[in-house]
């Protein structure tokens, strides 16, 4: 069985964050439906990883940590958008974000 490498997992988590919203849940109340959807998908990924048996040589634990970090980044992005001028505009970037390591 093949395992995901850290870069592959990071790419997978990034793609999850970019998935379009498939549900029509209270979009009038959601200021950031795509970010909310990303959080939902990340939460489901976390649940599935927690249900997985065995640690897979440490990869499962690392994946859980990356999911938790991804959730924190999505939440930070949402908070940033709510508190900064130009919110909601595509490409709004102050250049202050730290790169992932």
pLDDT computed for residue 22 by the predictor: 43
Tens digits of per-residue pLDDT, 19-78?
554 443 444 345 899 999 999 999 999 999 999 998 899 999 999 999 999 999 999 999
> How crowded is the C-beta side of 58, counted as CA atoms within 13 Å?
2
Residue 2 pLDDT level (bands cut at 50, 70, 90): low
pLDDT at position 26 is: 44
Give the model's pLDDT for residue 92. 55
CB 45 within 8 A of CB 67: yes
Q: Is 97 left (phi over 0), alpha (psi -120 to 50) or beta?
A: beta
CA angle at 43 for the pair 34 and 68, rounded to the nearest 5°? 100
pTM, full prediction = 0.58
What pLDDT was estimated at residue 4?
62
């Amino acid at each position: 069985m093949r395992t995901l490498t850290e870069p592959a997992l990071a790419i997978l988590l990034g793609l999850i964050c970019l998935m379009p919203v498939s549900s029509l849940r209270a979009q009038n109340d959601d200021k950031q439906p795509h970010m909310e959807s990303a959080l939902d998908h990340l939460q489901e990924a976390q649940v599935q990883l927690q249900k997985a048996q065995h640690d897979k040589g440490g990869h499962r634990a690392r994946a859980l940590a990356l999911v938790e970090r991804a959730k924190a980044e999505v939440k930070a992005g949402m908070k940033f958008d709510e508190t900064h001028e130009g919110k909601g505009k595509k490409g709004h970037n102050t250049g202050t974000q730290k790169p992932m390591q």
